[in-house]
Structure 1
Amino acid sequence: MKNYLQEMLNRKDLLYYLVRSGLKAEHRNSYLGYLWWLLDPLLSVLVFYFLVVVILNRGDTENYPLFLVIGLIVWRCISSTLNSSSKSIMQYSSIVSQVYLPKSLFPISFALTQLFNFAFGLIVIAVFLAAFRVMPGWELVFLPILVIVQTTFLLAIGTILAFVTVFVRDLENILQYVTRVFFYASPIIWEGGRLPPEYNWAVAYNPVAIIVTSYRDILMNGKMPDLTGLGIIFVASVVAMIAMLWYYSKNEYKIIKAL
């Protein structure tokens, strides 16, 4: 384990390269290029606002567009990270099978790439806060902590998915439906996720719901985030991440065989 971590540190230049190339590749052939990092969340908000408010006549939450943009931008980061991390090792299979590299660097690089994109999403949220004249209070000091918890959570899940996908290729397709369930079971476009009362536990113990609600509490509601829930997510994620790095260090040769 110690040698594996040292090897990861020695390959930090590769990690930097993977993140940089991932950012360049996202909108390489588009005319607007990096402007899509701002346009994409804005267009998503317009689509769901039209769906919920105009078609379904819902969205009676105060400052609903702000409520919506926070939920969608946080969800976009979470879902994009999980989907891209799950196929990260497979995407670089030609390199993985020829050169020895710590394989965990690949899902980590994809998670960091999406974190960079999330920073642009926070700019969009700041614009909406200004437009609706909502000024976050002193609770804003918890925002960096929340970003760290979210990133740790995604790193842990991403490393697990990347390893499993090598051996269970169907997981990539199944994940699309799993994330869709989490989307509707979390308060992304509606408060409470719109589940029947007997399924409220799916929101209360849903890490995605806890993270999304914490962002809204800090940025628009002037409330303390759920520190207990965030603490549990962080500790569980750290434990899972350490366990996965240990598992990678002992079983990476199986990845080569599977590829």
Structure 2
Amino acid sequence: MLNYLSEIFKRKDLLIYLVKSGLKAENRNSYLGYFWWLLDPLLNVAVYYFLVVVLIGRGGPGYPVFLVIGLVVWRWINTTINSSAKSITKYSSIINQVYLPKAIFPLALSLTQLFNFCFGLIVIGIFLGAFGYIPGWQVILLPIVIFITLLFLIALSLCVSYITVFVRDIDNVLSHILRIFFYASPIIWEGSRLANSPLPDQFMILLDWNPVAILLDAYRAILMEHHTPQFLGLGVLAVISIIVICLMLYHFYKNEHKIIKVL
């Protein structure tokens, strides 16, 4: 296991190259190029603002800021998980020719999407300034929440990429699972619970411990509400993510030869 981690560290130049190439590839054939990293979250906010505020008539004065935080964070989560499904299989031609620690590919993808999220933070900053929200001292806690989010996404990326190698159909199921999490999380609807929901209490507890909801509440507490986030939920999420990362790295280490055979 330690040798495997050492092998990944030795390939740090490859990791950096994969991150850079991933950033370049995303908008390589578009006219606006990297400007899409700013324009895409803005268009998402415009669409859902029209849906919720104009058509349904919901949302208060601070709803645009609430919405942009939810959509930018969700975009990071959704894009990372969806892309990680093929993070190993798309490099099958390289993997079959040269030995590389397979875990390096989902790791590189997670770091690539972290850079994309940084551009989303610029959009959030624009909305905070436009609607008069000035974060307090709690903003110094923002890097901690971002780091916990990254741990969570690395854990999921390792799981999804590993499973997809052996079960290719998981890629088709992911979009439906993520859609459930989108509507079960406070991304476009306000409040910690679904208003007037007929769901039993045991299902509401599951919604309260939804990891996406925990992360969104933390970002909004820091940026909008001048509150410290709920560190209990964040701490549990961080510990579970670290455990999953260690277990998945062990699985990659023990099953490298099986991955090569399947590819």
Q: CA deviation at 1:193?
A: 5.9
Contact 2:138 2:227 in 1 (8 A): yes
CA contact (8 A) 2:103 2:249 kept: yes
Partner residue, 1:151: 150
Taking the TM superposition and a 5 Å limit, the aligned residue runs for 1:176-255 are 176-191=175-190, 192=192, 194=194, 196=197, 198=200, 199-255=203-259
Amino acid in structure 1 at the alignment position of 2:82: N
Partner residue in 2 for 1:36: 36
| The 10-residue stretch of structure 1 (77-86 or 196-205) with the greater mean CA deviation from structure 2 | 196-205
Query: Which residue in 2 is equivalent to 1:175?
Result: 174
Count of paired positions: 258
3-state DSSP class of the match of 2:31?
A: coil
Q: TM-score, normalised by structure 1?
A: 0.97
1:204 Cα deviation after fit: 0.9
* 1:33-91 deviation digits (Å, cap 9, x = unpaired): 0000000000000000011111111223x400000000000000000000111110011
Taking the TM superposition and a 5 Å limit, the aligned residue runs for 1:1-259 are 1-60=1-60, 62-191=61-190, 192=192, 194=194, 196=197, 198=200, 199-259=203-263
Q: Distance in 1 between matches of 2:89 and 2:193?
A: 33
- CA distance, structure 2, for counterparts of residue 212 and residue 176 of structure 1: 20
- Give per-residue Cα distances to partners, 1:114-163, cap 9 Å, x unaligned: 00000000010001010011111111111000000000000011001000
Q: Which amino acid aligns with 2:225?
A: N
Amino acid at match of 1:231: G
The percent of aligned pairs where both chains have the same amino acid is 57
Structure 1 unaligned residues grouped into runs of 5+: none
The answer (yes or no) to whether the contact 1:184–1:193 under 8 Å persists in 2 is no
| Post-superposition offset of 1:93 | 1.1
Which one-letter code corresponds to 2:229 in the other structure?
Answer: P
Deviation, 1:252, is 1.0
Consecutive unaligned residues in structure 2, runs of 5 or more: none
Secondary structure of residue in 2 paired with 1:190: coil
After superposing on structure 2, the runs of 4+ consecutive aligned residues of structure 1 that deviate more than 4 Å are none
Return the alpha-carbon distance in structure 1 between the equivalents of residues 143 and 81 of structure 2. Answer: 21
Q: What is the one-letter code of the residue matched to 1:92?
A: Y
Aligned partner of residue 66 in structure 2, secondary structure:
helix
Q: Which moved more, 1:50-59 or 1:224-233?
A: 50-59
After TM superposition, the score normalised by the length of structure 2 is 0.96
Paired amino acid for 1:225 = P
User: Quick one: distance in 2 between partners of 1:125 and 1:228?
Assistant: 25
> Is the 8 Å Cα contact of residues 193 and 208 (structure 2) preserved in structure 1?
no
Query: In the aligned structure 1, how far is the partner of 2:168 from the partner of 2:145?
Result: 32
CA distance in 1, matches of 2:91, 2:193: 37
Give the CA deviation at 1:202: 2.8
For residues 100 and 90 of structure 2, what CA distance do their matches in structure 1 show?
14
